[in-house]
């Protein structure tokens, strides 16, 4: 495989952040220590540690963490000899207060995450991170839902704020390989900073999409060991390393150590395996936020219609997080159309 960039590929392991959703944010200090140590010894470059919804996410709305994330960050930093500890911050969920605290505890990279059309709100936190001497990246979520030129415009804003990389974040696992190709290619053509890619496996394309991203010049890649992430999980890190080795792309991560970590440490704490079930598949197919699933099921029951039809329509209208009210509107309209026999 020919790569459009000759920079080394850096892997960010997200099982201790995106994977936090899978364990309902109940990671213990001991689990984080063991997993971070294993990832560090295997040679992973960055380990992201935060509530699943980023710093400050431990609330009744997003789900309370068992352990304060600052204690988990501290444990991960202590366990790492070479890996850097990263945090995720969604402005509005997390604040400058948490970012300063995480930095004081040793987190050295922040990924500031916004909806793909709302890069503006990342300015303050990217600025602050750079002032603190942290590495700062932009993380454009639901990247499938915006036209490519819009994505480029938003990424350029993040670059202008001082981001050192911008990620195409396929939050709903909705992108097909060609969609990844055109997005990464357009960013590579337009930005001077590194490009990243964060996959979800809802359509079983996380690894394949990640390969396309690397081919087109992405050098920051997210993986989750044992596929531990929201929905159907992310690009399974140990599988990704195996495939990259088969392609002759060396990223400096020990495959056997990653496989052992996945099997012996992470596997046993999984509450359920990361297969693609009806819920995760419909999210990827409709391209909607995972939080919409439960609302659509409730509305479907109330109006006597298939929740999948609601989610597909919500996806077509490109609803963003917080627009759960739209689900009721769509369900109501859909039920009326069905009754009218149209």
Interface with a copy of itself (CB under 8 A): 1, 176-178, 201, 203-208, 211, 226-227, 235-236, 238-239, 242-243, 245-247, 255-256, 259-260, 262-263, 267, 272-278, 281-282, 284-285, 306, 308
CA dihedral 314, 155, 210, 50 (to 10 degrees): -80
Work out how close the CB of 203 gets to a copy of itself at its nearest, in angstroms, rounded to a whole number. 5
For residues 37 and 202, which CB has a smaller minimum distance to a copy of itself in the complex?
Answer: 202
For residues 57 and 231, which CB has a smaller minimum distance to a copy of itself in the complex?
Answer: 231
Radius of gyration of the chain (CA): 19
As a whole number of angstroms, the distance between CA 177 and CA 101 comes to 38
Instruction: Provide the phi-psi class of 92: left if phi over 0, else alpha when psi is between -120 and 50, else beta.
Output: left
For residues 55 and 211, which CB has a smaller minimum distance to a copy of itself in the complex?
Answer: 211
* Residue numbers belonging to the annotated binding site: 17-18, 171, 198, 200, 289
> Is the separation of the CB atoms in 155 and 166 below 8 Å?
yes
User: Quick one: three-class SS letters along 227-263?
Assistant: HCCCCCCCCEHHHHHHHHHHCCCCCCCCHHHHHHHHH
For residues 81 and 272, which CB has a smaller minimum distance to a copy of itself in the complex?
Answer: 272
Q: Decide if 21 is catalytic.
A: yes
Which of 21, 25, 45, 125 is flagged as catalytic?
Answer: 21
Residue 273 neighbours by CB distance under 10 Å: 10
Work out how close the CB of 275 gets to a copy of itself at its nearest, in angstroms, rounded to a whole number. 4
For residues 109 and 258, which CB has a smaller minimum distance to a copy of itself in the complex?
Answer: 258
For residues 103 and 236, which CB has a smaller minimum distance to a copy of itself in the complex?
Answer: 236
As a whole number of angstroms, the distance between CA 211 and CA 249 comes to 11
Work out how close the CB of 89 gets to a copy of itself at its nearest, in angstroms, rounded to a whole number. 29
SS3 301: helix
* Residue numbers belonging to the annotated binding site for Mn(2+): 18, 198, 200
Work out how close the CB of 101 gets to a copy of itself at its nearest, in angstroms, rounded to a whole number. 36
DSSP 86-153: EEEE-BTTB-HHHHHHHHHTT--EEEEEEETT-GGGGHHHHHHHHHTT-EEEEEEESGGGS-HHHHHH
Work out how close the CB of 25 gets to a copy of itself at its nearest, in angstroms, rounded to a whole number. 22
As a whole number of angstroms, the distance between CA 119 and CA 282 comes to 27
Work out how close the CB of 324 gets to a copy of itself at its nearest, in angstroms, rounded to a whole number. 23
CA-nearest of 39, 146, 67 to 15 is 39
* Sign of the CA dihedral running 98, 170, 23, 60: positive
SS3 84: strand
As a whole number of angstroms, the distance between CA 261 and CA 113 comes to 28
Active site residues: 21
């Amino acid at each position: 495989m020919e790569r459009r960039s000759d920079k080394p590929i850096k892997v960010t392991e997200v099982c201790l952040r995106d994977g936090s959703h899978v364990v309902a944010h109940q990671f213990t200090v001991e689990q984080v220590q063991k997993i971070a140590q294993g990832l560090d010894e295997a040679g992973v470059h960055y380990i992201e540690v935060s509530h699943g919804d980023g710093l400050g996410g431990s609330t009744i709305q997003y789900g309370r963490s068992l352990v304060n994330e600052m204690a988990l960050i501290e444990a991960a930093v202590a366990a790492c000899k070479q890996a850097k500890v990263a945090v995720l911050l969604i402005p509005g969920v997390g604040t400058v207060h948490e970012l300063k605290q995480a930095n004081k505890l040793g987190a050295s990279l922040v990924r500031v995450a916004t909806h793909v059309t709302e890069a503006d709100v990342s300015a303050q936190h990217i600025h602050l991170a750079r002032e603190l001497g942290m590495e700062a990246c932009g993380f454009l979520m639901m990247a499938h839902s915006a036209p490519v030129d819009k994505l480029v415009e938003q990424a350029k804003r993040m670059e202008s704020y001082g981001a050192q990389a911008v990620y195409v974040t396929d939050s709903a696992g909705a992108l097909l390989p060609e969609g990844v190709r055109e997005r990464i290619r357009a960013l590579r053509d337009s930005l001077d900073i590194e490009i990243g890619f964060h996959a979800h496996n809802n359509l079983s394309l996380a690894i394949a999409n990640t390969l396309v991203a690397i081919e087109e010049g992405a050098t920051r890649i997210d993986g989750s060991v044992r596929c531990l992430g929201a929905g159907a999980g992310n690009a399974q890190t140990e599988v990704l390393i195996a495939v990259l080795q088969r392609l002759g792309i060396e990223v400096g991560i020990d495959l056997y150590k990653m496989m052992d970590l996945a099997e012996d440490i992470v596997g046993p704490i999984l509450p359920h395996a990361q297969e693609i079930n009806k819920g995760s598949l419909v999210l990827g197919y409709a391209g909607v936020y995972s939080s919409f699933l439960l609302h659509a099921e409730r509305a479907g029951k109330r109006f006597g219609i298939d929740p999948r039809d609601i989610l597909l329509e919500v996806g077509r209208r490109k609803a963003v997080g917080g627009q759960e009210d739209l689900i009721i509107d769509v369900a109501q309209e859909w039920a009326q159309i069905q009754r009218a026999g149209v």
